[in-house]
Amino acid sequence: MPYPITFYGLEGQTGLYACIKRKEDGKVYDESNDAWIDPYSVPLPNGDFADWTATDPNNWTVLETGTSSVEESGAGTGNCRLVGATGVAAITSQNTPIVAGLKYRMTVVVDEVVLLGSGLQVDTPDGSLAGIFDAGTYPREWTAVTGGQIGLWSSQNMNIVIASVTLTQVDNPFAGVCRLSLTEDGTEAGKYTITDASFNPRLGGKYVTYVFDSADDLVFFTENTYSATQPKNALQIVQAIQQEQRLPQSVDLTRVHDKLMLAFVNKVLRTLGKTPERWDALKISGGFVTIIGQTVYTIDPINAVSMDSITHVQIGTNEPIDPLVTEEAFREYKRTNKTPSRPLARRLYGRVGRAIMIELVPPPDVVYQVDFEGYQKILPLVNTTDVPLLNSDTIINGGVMLAKDEAGRKALIEAEIFANDVGADTGNEGEENIGDLDPI
Protein backbone atom coordinates (compact mmCIF):
# COMPACT_ATOMS: atom_id res chain seq x y z
CA MET A 1 0.00 0.00 0.00
CA PRO A 2 1.74 3.22 -1.08
CA TYR A 3 2.11 5.88 1.59
CA PRO A 4 -0.03 8.95 0.75
CA ILE A 5 0.83 12.33 2.25
CA THR A 6 -1.79 15.07 2.36
CA PHE A 7 -0.86 18.40 3.95
CA TYR A 8 -2.97 21.55 4.12
CA GLY A 9 -1.14 24.87 4.27
CA LEU A 10 -1.10 28.31 2.71
CA GLU A 11 -1.88 28.30 -0.99
CA GLY A 12 0.84 29.02 -3.52
CA GLN A 13 3.80 27.64 -1.56
CA THR A 14 6.68 26.17 -3.54
CA GLY A 15 9.55 23.98 -2.39
CA LEU A 16 7.58 22.16 0.32
CA TYR A 17 8.83 18.65 1.01
CA ALA A 18 8.03 15.83 3.42
CA CYS A 19 10.21 13.47 5.41
CA ILE A 20 9.12 10.28 7.12
CA LYS A 21 10.69 8.95 10.32
CA ARG A 22 10.10 5.44 11.63
CA LYS A 23 9.22 5.84 15.31
CA GLU A 24 10.60 2.51 16.49
CA ASP A 25 14.24 3.20 15.61
CA GLY A 26 14.39 6.84 14.51
CA LYS A 27 15.48 6.01 10.96
CA VAL A 28 14.15 8.01 8.03
CA TYR A 29 13.12 6.96 4.56
CA ASP A 30 15.73 7.74 1.89
CA GLU A 31 13.72 7.88 -1.31
CA SER A 32 16.76 7.92 -3.62
CA ASN A 33 17.96 4.54 -2.31
CA ASP A 34 14.57 3.15 -1.22
CA ALA A 35 16.00 2.38 2.23
CA TRP A 36 15.71 3.35 5.91
CA ILE A 37 18.81 5.16 7.16
CA ASP A 38 20.16 6.92 10.26
CA PRO A 39 19.37 10.57 9.44
CA TYR A 40 22.15 12.02 11.60
CA SER A 41 24.99 9.88 10.30
CA VAL A 42 26.98 11.29 7.37
CA PRO A 43 28.76 8.72 5.18
CA LEU A 44 32.53 8.87 5.74
CA PRO A 45 34.04 5.83 3.99
CA ASN A 46 36.81 4.12 5.95
CA GLY A 47 36.47 6.54 8.84
CA ASP A 48 37.75 3.76 11.11
CA PHE A 49 40.88 3.24 8.94
CA ALA A 50 40.22 -0.48 8.67
CA ASP A 51 41.05 -0.70 4.95
CA TRP A 52 44.46 0.05 3.43
CA THR A 53 46.11 -0.31 0.06
CA ALA A 54 49.87 -0.58 0.56
CA THR A 55 50.69 2.33 2.89
CA ASP A 56 47.65 4.49 2.13
CA PRO A 57 44.24 4.35 3.85
CA ASN A 58 41.44 3.65 1.37
CA ASN A 59 39.05 6.54 0.60
CA TRP A 60 41.54 9.13 1.89
CA THR A 61 43.90 11.30 -0.15
CA VAL A 62 47.41 11.32 1.34
CA LEU A 63 49.90 14.21 1.31
CA GLU A 64 53.48 13.65 2.52
CA THR A 65 56.31 16.24 2.36
CA GLY A 66 59.83 16.24 3.77
CA THR A 67 60.44 13.21 5.97
CA SER A 68 56.79 12.88 6.98
CA SER A 69 54.56 9.90 6.17
CA VAL A 70 51.11 8.45 6.69
CA GLU A 71 51.23 4.88 7.98
CA GLU A 72 49.04 2.12 9.29
CA SER A 73 49.78 1.89 13.00
CA GLY A 74 50.30 -1.86 13.19
CA ALA A 75 48.79 -4.23 10.66
CA GLY A 76 45.07 -4.80 11.23
CA THR A 77 44.78 -2.29 14.07
CA GLY A 78 42.61 0.12 12.11
CA ASN A 79 44.68 3.15 13.19
CA CYS A 80 46.32 5.86 11.10
CA ARG A 81 49.69 7.29 12.19
CA LEU A 82 51.04 10.68 11.07
CA VAL A 83 54.81 10.60 11.66
CA GLY A 84 57.92 12.56 10.66
CA ALA A 85 60.63 15.01 11.71
CA THR A 86 60.08 17.54 8.94
CA GLY A 87 57.38 18.46 6.46
CA VAL A 88 53.64 17.83 6.55
CA ALA A 89 51.59 14.61 6.78
CA ALA A 90 47.97 15.04 5.82
CA ILE A 91 44.90 12.98 4.96
CA THR A 92 41.80 14.33 3.20
CA SER A 93 38.49 12.48 2.91
CA GLN A 94 37.06 11.53 -0.45
CA ASN A 95 33.37 11.78 -1.48
CA THR A 96 32.10 13.26 1.81
CA PRO A 97 28.65 14.85 1.24
CA ILE A 98 29.07 18.12 3.16
CA VAL A 99 26.04 20.28 2.28
CA ALA A 100 26.28 24.06 2.51
CA GLY A 101 24.06 25.57 5.19
CA LEU A 102 23.96 22.53 7.50
CA LYS A 103 25.63 22.17 10.88
CA TYR A 104 28.00 19.23 11.35
CA ARG A 105 29.89 17.54 14.15
CA MET A 106 33.20 15.84 13.32
CA THR A 107 34.42 13.54 16.10
CA VAL A 108 38.11 12.60 16.05
CA VAL A 109 39.44 9.87 18.33
CA VAL A 110 43.19 10.15 18.94
CA ASP A 111 44.67 6.94 20.30
CA GLU A 112 48.21 8.11 21.03
CA VAL A 113 50.45 11.18 20.92
CA VAL A 114 54.18 10.36 21.02
CA LEU A 115 55.49 13.58 19.48
CA LEU A 116 53.13 16.53 19.32
CA GLY A 117 54.66 18.61 16.54
CA SER A 118 52.15 21.25 15.46
CA GLY A 119 49.31 19.27 16.98
CA LEU A 120 46.63 17.51 14.97
CA GLN A 121 44.96 20.15 12.85
CA VAL A 122 41.31 19.72 11.81
CA ASP A 123 40.27 21.14 8.44
CA THR A 124 36.82 21.69 6.90
CA PRO A 125 35.85 23.14 3.51
CA ASP A 126 35.42 26.47 5.33
CA GLY A 127 38.73 26.51 7.22
CA SER A 128 40.37 25.01 10.29
CA LEU A 129 38.72 24.13 13.60
CA ALA A 130 40.36 23.94 17.01
CA GLY A 131 43.44 21.70 16.98
CA ILE A 132 43.97 18.53 19.03
CA PHE A 133 46.97 18.21 21.35
CA ASP A 134 46.44 15.04 23.37
CA ALA A 135 44.93 11.55 23.19
CA GLY A 136 41.16 11.38 23.63
CA THR A 137 37.83 11.98 21.87
CA TYR A 138 37.36 15.41 20.33
CA PRO A 139 34.06 16.65 18.81
CA ARG A 140 34.33 19.68 16.57
CA GLU A 141 31.25 21.52 15.21
CA TRP A 142 30.80 23.98 12.36
CA THR A 143 28.13 25.25 10.00
CA ALA A 144 29.07 24.56 6.41
CA VAL A 145 29.20 27.58 4.12
CA THR A 146 30.51 25.54 1.21
CA GLY A 147 30.52 21.85 0.35
CA GLY A 148 33.69 19.80 0.17
CA GLN A 149 35.91 17.44 2.14
CA ILE A 150 37.34 17.29 5.64
CA GLY A 151 40.97 16.64 6.51
CA LEU A 152 43.55 16.10 9.29
CA TRP A 153 47.22 17.05 9.26
CA SER A 154 50.27 17.76 11.37
CA SER A 155 53.86 18.92 10.79
CA GLN A 156 57.34 19.04 12.31
CA ASN A 157 58.36 16.34 14.83
CA MET A 158 55.03 14.57 14.92
CA ASN A 159 53.97 11.06 15.88
CA ILE A 160 50.20 11.02 16.27
CA VAL A 161 47.89 8.00 16.01
CA ILE A 162 44.29 8.58 14.84
CA ALA A 163 41.81 5.80 15.73
CA SER A 164 38.71 7.04 13.89
CA VAL A 165 36.82 9.97 12.40
CA THR A 166 32.99 10.20 12.26
CA LEU A 167 30.59 12.81 10.90
CA THR A 168 27.04 13.59 12.03
CA GLN A 169 24.48 16.28 11.27
CA VAL A 170 23.52 18.42 14.23
CA ASP A 171 20.43 20.41 13.21
CA ASN A 172 17.93 19.30 10.56
CA PRO A 173 18.92 15.68 9.88
CA PHE A 174 16.49 15.39 6.97
CA ALA A 175 17.81 18.17 4.76
CA GLY A 176 20.16 15.92 2.84
CA VAL A 177 17.82 12.94 2.44
CA CYS A 178 14.14 12.04 2.42
CA ARG A 179 13.04 14.97 0.31
CA LEU A 180 9.60 13.91 -0.92
CA SER A 181 8.35 16.89 -2.92
CA LEU A 182 4.84 18.15 -2.18
CA THR A 183 2.81 19.75 -4.95
CA GLU A 184 -0.36 21.80 -4.60
CA ASP A 185 -3.54 20.04 -5.64
CA GLY A 186 -4.94 21.69 -8.76
CA THR A 187 -8.53 21.32 -7.56
CA GLU A 188 -8.14 22.57 -3.98
CA ALA A 189 -6.03 25.56 -2.97
CA GLY A 190 -3.65 24.94 -0.10
CA LYS A 191 -3.80 21.14 -0.41
CA TYR A 192 -0.42 19.51 -1.03
CA THR A 193 -0.02 15.84 -1.86
CA ILE A 194 2.45 13.17 -2.87
CA THR A 195 2.28 9.42 -3.33
CA ASP A 196 5.58 7.56 -3.35
CA ALA A 197 4.77 4.15 -4.78
CA SER A 198 8.05 2.64 -3.54
CA PHE A 199 7.34 3.28 0.15
CA ASN A 200 5.23 0.60 1.81
CA PRO A 201 4.88 1.08 5.58
CA ARG A 202 4.61 -1.90 7.86
CA LEU A 203 1.02 -2.38 9.02
CA GLY A 204 0.76 -1.52 12.68
CA GLY A 205 3.87 0.66 12.55
CA LYS A 206 4.18 4.23 13.84
CA TYR A 207 5.64 6.95 11.63
CA VAL A 208 6.24 10.66 12.08
CA THR A 209 5.69 12.73 8.94
CA TYR A 210 7.44 16.12 8.82
CA VAL A 211 6.82 18.94 6.35
CA PHE A 212 9.60 21.48 5.66
CA ASP A 213 9.63 24.61 3.57
CA SER A 214 12.12 25.50 0.84
CA ALA A 215 14.52 26.93 3.45
CA ASP A 216 14.58 23.56 5.31
CA ASP A 217 12.61 25.05 8.20
CA LEU A 218 10.05 22.81 9.93
CA VAL A 219 6.43 23.73 9.21
CA PHE A 220 4.35 20.90 10.70
CA PHE A 221 4.66 17.30 11.85
CA THR A 222 2.20 14.54 12.75
CA GLU A 223 2.50 11.04 14.15
CA ASN A 224 0.69 8.54 11.92
CA THR A 225 -0.15 4.92 12.76
CA TYR A 226 -1.08 2.21 10.32
CA SER A 227 -3.66 -0.31 11.48
CA ALA A 228 -2.37 -3.81 12.18
CA THR A 229 -4.99 -5.11 9.74
CA GLN A 230 -5.74 -3.91 6.24
CA PRO A 231 -8.80 -1.61 6.57
CA LYS A 232 -11.95 -2.25 4.56
CA ASN A 233 -13.84 0.45 2.72
CA ALA A 234 -17.58 1.19 2.99
CA LEU A 235 -18.58 -1.20 0.20
CA GLN A 236 -16.51 -4.06 1.63
CA ILE A 237 -17.98 -3.52 5.11
CA VAL A 238 -21.56 -3.58 3.79
CA GLN A 239 -20.77 -6.68 1.73
CA ALA A 240 -19.39 -8.43 4.83
CA ILE A 241 -22.55 -7.63 6.82
CA GLN A 242 -24.72 -8.95 3.99
CA GLN A 243 -22.60 -12.07 3.70
CA GLU A 244 -23.04 -12.80 7.42
CA GLN A 245 -26.82 -12.75 6.84
CA ARG A 246 -26.66 -14.87 3.67
CA LEU A 247 -27.98 -11.96 1.58
CA PRO A 248 -27.02 -10.82 -1.92
CA GLN A 249 -23.99 -8.55 -1.79
CA SER A 250 -24.00 -4.95 -2.92
CA VAL A 251 -22.17 -3.75 -6.01
CA ASP A 252 -22.31 0.02 -5.59
CA LEU A 253 -24.39 0.84 -2.45
CA THR A 254 -27.33 2.10 -4.53
CA ARG A 255 -30.05 -0.43 -3.59
CA VAL A 256 -32.46 0.30 -0.75
CA HIS A 257 -31.11 -2.60 1.30
CA ASP A 258 -27.53 -1.44 0.69
CA LYS A 259 -28.39 2.00 2.03
CA LEU A 260 -30.05 0.45 5.09
CA MET A 261 -26.88 -1.55 5.86
CA LEU A 262 -24.76 1.57 5.38
CA ALA A 263 -27.05 3.42 7.82
CA PHE A 264 -26.39 0.68 10.39
CA VAL A 265 -22.67 1.07 9.82
CA ASN A 266 -22.82 4.82 10.42
CA LYS A 267 -24.94 4.29 13.54
CA VAL A 268 -22.20 2.03 14.90
CA LEU A 269 -19.62 4.70 14.11
CA ARG A 270 -21.67 7.40 15.84
CA THR A 271 -22.02 5.22 18.92
CA LEU A 272 -18.31 4.46 19.09
CA GLY A 273 -17.39 8.08 18.43
CA LYS A 274 -19.18 9.31 21.58
CA THR A 275 -16.12 8.23 23.61
CA PRO A 276 -13.11 9.17 21.44
CA GLU A 277 -10.72 8.92 24.37
CA ARG A 278 -11.22 5.15 24.32
CA TRP A 279 -9.95 4.68 20.77
CA ASP A 280 -6.30 4.74 19.83
CA ALA A 281 -7.18 5.23 16.17
CA LEU A 282 -8.82 8.58 16.96
CA LYS A 283 -5.85 9.95 18.89
CA ILE A 284 -3.54 12.23 16.98
CA SER A 285 -0.45 14.19 17.95
CA GLY A 286 2.03 16.43 16.22
CA GLY A 287 3.41 19.92 16.23
CA PHE A 288 3.92 23.18 14.40
CA VAL A 289 6.21 26.19 14.63
CA THR A 290 5.12 29.66 15.62
CA ILE A 291 5.62 32.89 13.71
CA ILE A 292 6.87 35.87 15.69
CA GLY A 293 3.91 38.08 16.64
CA GLN A 294 1.25 35.72 15.20
CA THR A 295 -1.36 34.46 17.68
CA VAL A 296 -3.81 32.37 15.61
CA TYR A 297 -2.78 28.97 14.22
CA THR A 298 -4.60 26.33 12.19
CA ILE A 299 -4.13 22.74 13.34
CA ASP A 300 -4.76 20.43 10.42
CA PRO A 301 -2.61 17.32 10.94
CA ILE A 302 -1.00 15.50 8.03
CA ASN A 303 -3.21 12.68 6.74
CA ALA A 304 -5.90 13.44 9.32
CA VAL A 305 -9.59 13.04 8.40
CA SER A 306 -11.08 15.84 10.49
CA MET A 307 -10.16 17.32 13.86
CA ASP A 308 -12.66 16.92 16.69
CA SER A 309 -10.80 18.47 19.64
CA ILE A 310 -7.43 19.60 20.96
CA THR A 311 -6.66 18.28 24.43
CA HIS A 312 -3.05 19.27 25.07
CA VAL A 313 -0.72 22.05 23.88
CA GLN A 314 2.84 22.48 25.13
CA ILE A 315 6.13 24.16 24.24
CA GLY A 316 9.11 21.95 25.03
CA THR A 317 9.34 20.98 28.70
CA ASN A 318 7.44 24.06 29.89
CA GLU A 319 4.09 23.83 31.63
CA PRO A 320 1.21 22.92 29.28
CA ILE A 321 -0.62 25.83 27.68
CA ASP A 322 -4.10 25.41 29.10
CA PRO A 323 -7.34 27.22 28.29
CA LEU A 324 -8.42 29.80 30.83
CA VAL A 325 -11.58 29.15 32.82
CA THR A 326 -13.84 31.46 30.78
CA GLU A 327 -13.79 33.41 27.53
CA GLU A 328 -13.97 36.62 29.56
CA ALA A 329 -10.85 35.61 31.48
CA PHE A 330 -9.01 34.93 28.22
CA ARG A 331 -10.00 38.27 26.69
CA GLU A 332 -8.84 40.11 29.81
CA TYR A 333 -5.56 38.16 29.81
CA LYS A 334 -5.08 39.01 26.12
CA ARG A 335 -5.67 42.72 26.75
CA THR A 336 -3.05 42.82 29.50
CA ASN A 337 -0.44 40.60 27.82
CA LYS A 338 0.29 42.13 24.43
CA THR A 339 4.07 42.22 24.80
CA PRO A 340 5.56 39.30 22.81
CA SER A 341 6.94 36.46 24.92
CA ARG A 342 6.43 32.70 25.31
CA PRO A 343 2.67 31.88 24.96
CA LEU A 344 1.08 30.85 28.26
CA ALA A 345 -2.65 30.62 27.47
CA ARG A 346 -4.86 29.42 24.63
CA ARG A 347 -8.45 29.24 23.47
CA LEU A 348 -10.44 27.67 20.65
CA TYR A 349 -10.51 30.39 18.00
CA GLY A 350 -12.79 28.57 15.57
CA ARG A 351 -13.05 25.87 12.95
CA VAL A 352 -12.28 25.96 9.26
CA GLY A 353 -13.16 22.95 7.16
CA ARG A 354 -11.49 19.87 8.66
CA ALA A 355 -9.21 21.90 10.94
CA ILE A 356 -9.29 23.55 14.35
CA MET A 357 -7.92 27.05 14.93
CA ILE A 358 -6.39 28.04 18.27
CA GLU A 359 -5.25 31.38 19.62
CA LEU A 360 -2.09 31.68 21.74
CA VAL A 361 -1.21 34.60 23.99
CA PRO A 362 1.04 36.42 24.60
CA PRO A 363 2.18 36.71 20.96
CA PRO A 364 5.34 34.61 20.37
CA ASP A 365 8.55 36.61 20.68
CA VAL A 366 10.65 33.97 18.88
CA VAL A 367 10.03 30.82 16.84
CA TYR A 368 8.75 28.03 19.13
CA GLN A 369 7.95 24.40 18.35
CA VAL A 370 4.47 23.75 19.74
CA ASP A 371 3.39 20.15 20.38
CA PHE A 372 -0.27 19.17 20.50
CA GLU A 373 -2.51 16.18 21.18
CA GLY A 374 -6.13 15.72 20.22
CA TYR A 375 -8.79 13.54 18.65
CA GLN A 376 -9.99 13.06 15.13
CA LYS A 377 -13.69 13.16 14.35
CA ILE A 378 -15.51 10.08 13.07
CA LEU A 379 -17.17 11.00 9.80
CA PRO A 380 -20.04 9.02 8.25
CA LEU A 381 -19.23 6.74 5.34
CA VAL A 382 -20.85 7.98 2.12
CA ASN A 383 -18.93 6.73 -0.88
CA THR A 384 -18.02 3.14 -1.68
CA THR A 385 -14.31 3.87 -1.21
CA ASP A 386 -14.62 5.68 2.15
CA VAL A 387 -12.49 4.01 4.83
CA PRO A 388 -13.36 4.36 8.55
CA LEU A 389 -10.76 5.23 11.17
CA LEU A 390 -11.85 2.43 13.50
CA ASN A 391 -11.30 -1.29 13.14
CA SER A 392 -13.34 -2.72 10.26
CA ASP A 393 -14.11 -6.02 11.98
CA THR A 394 -15.58 -4.23 15.01
CA ILE A 395 -17.81 -2.15 12.74
CA ILE A 396 -18.95 -5.25 10.84
CA ASN A 397 -19.90 -7.07 14.04
CA GLY A 398 -21.85 -4.02 15.23
CA GLY A 399 -23.57 -3.75 11.86
CA VAL A 400 -24.60 -7.43 11.90
CA MET A 401 -26.01 -6.95 15.41
CA LEU A 402 -28.16 -3.98 14.31
CA ALA A 403 -29.27 -5.69 11.10
CA LYS A 404 -30.47 -8.78 12.95
CA ASP A 405 -32.22 -6.66 15.56
CA GLU A 406 -34.00 -4.72 12.78
CA ALA A 407 -35.18 -8.01 11.27
CA GLY A 408 -36.59 -9.14 14.62
CA ARG A 409 -33.95 -11.80 15.10
CA LYS A 410 -32.08 -12.27 18.35
CA ALA A 411 -28.57 -10.90 18.19
CA LEU A 412 -27.25 -11.99 21.59
CA ILE A 413 -24.16 -13.68 20.17
CA GLU A 414 -23.35 -10.75 17.89
CA ALA A 415 -23.88 -8.31 20.78
CA GLU A 416 -21.41 -10.28 22.89
CA ILE A 417 -18.87 -10.40 20.05
CA PHE A 418 -19.29 -6.67 19.50
CA ALA A 419 -18.77 -5.95 23.20
CA ASN A 420 -15.65 -8.11 23.21
CA ASP A 421 -14.34 -6.35 20.11
CA VAL A 422 -14.82 -2.98 21.75
CA GLY A 423 -12.92 -4.15 24.81
CA ALA A 424 -10.09 -5.56 22.70
CA ASP A 425 -9.79 -2.41 20.64
CA THR A 426 -9.66 -0.06 23.61
CA GLY A 427 -7.34 -2.19 25.80
CA ASN A 428 -4.11 -0.98 27.32
CA GLU A 429 -3.09 0.85 24.18
CA GLY A 430 -5.71 3.44 25.04
CA GLU A 431 -3.63 4.42 28.05
CA GLU A 432 -0.42 5.15 26.19
CA ASN A 433 1.13 8.60 26.13
CA ILE A 434 0.64 10.04 22.67
CA GLY A 435 2.74 13.11 23.32
CA ASP A 436 6.17 11.50 23.12
CA LEU A 437 7.25 12.85 19.74
CA ASP A 438 10.91 13.63 19.63
CA PRO A 439 11.83 17.19 18.65
CA ILE A 440 14.05 17.51 15.65
Q: 114 CB contacts (<8 Å, ≥6 apart)? A: 159, 160, 161
The least confident of 30-34, 47-51, 71-75, 346-350 is 30-34
CATH class, 41-169 region: mainly beta
pLDDT of residue 430: 36
**Dihedral angle at the C-alpha atoms of 395, 397, 403, 406, nearest 10 degrees?**
-100
Which DSSP string corresponds to 7-51? Answer: EE--TT--S-EEEEEETTT--EEETTTTEEE-SSEE--TTTT---
pLDDT at res. 200:
64
Inform me whether the pLDDT recorded for 97 exceeds 80: no
Q: 86 pLDDT exceeds 70?
A: yes
Alpha helices in 278-371 (DSSP H): 327-336
* DSSP string of 350-382, one letter each residue: EEETTEEEEEEESPPSS--EEEEEEEEPPPPP-
Tens of pLDDT, residue by residue over 387-407, are 998 888 889 989 999 998 888
pLDDT value of position 281: 82
Q: What is the DSSP letter of 255?
A: S
What three-state secondary structure class fits 137?
strand
Q: Could you give the CA distance from residue 284 to residue 207 in angstroms, rounded to a whole number? A: 12
Averaged over 142-155, what is the pLDDT? 90
Q: Report the range out of 81-85, 101-105, 183-187 with the highest average pLDDT.
A: 81-85
Please write the tens of the pLDDT for every residue from 7-65. 888 888 998 988 888 888 888 877 766 777 787 778 889 999 999 998 899 999 999 99
Average pLDDT, the chain: 85
Q: Which pLDDT belongs to residue 216?
A: 80
Nearest to 288 by CA among 365, 359, 375, 371: 371
177 DSSP 8-state letter: S
Residue 437 pLDDT class (50, 70, 90 cuts): very low
Half-sphere CA count of 326, side-chain side, radius 13 A: 3
pLDDT of residue 147: 83
In the chain, which segments carry CATH 2.60.120.260?
Answer: 41-169
pLDDT of the residue at 37: 78
Does residue 176 register a pLDDT over 80? no
Rounded Cα distance between 412 and 409, Å, is 9
pLDDT tens-digit series, residues 258-293: 999 999 999 999 888 888 877 888 899 999 999 999
In whole angstroms, what is the distance from residue 342 CA to residue 217 CA?
Answer: 20
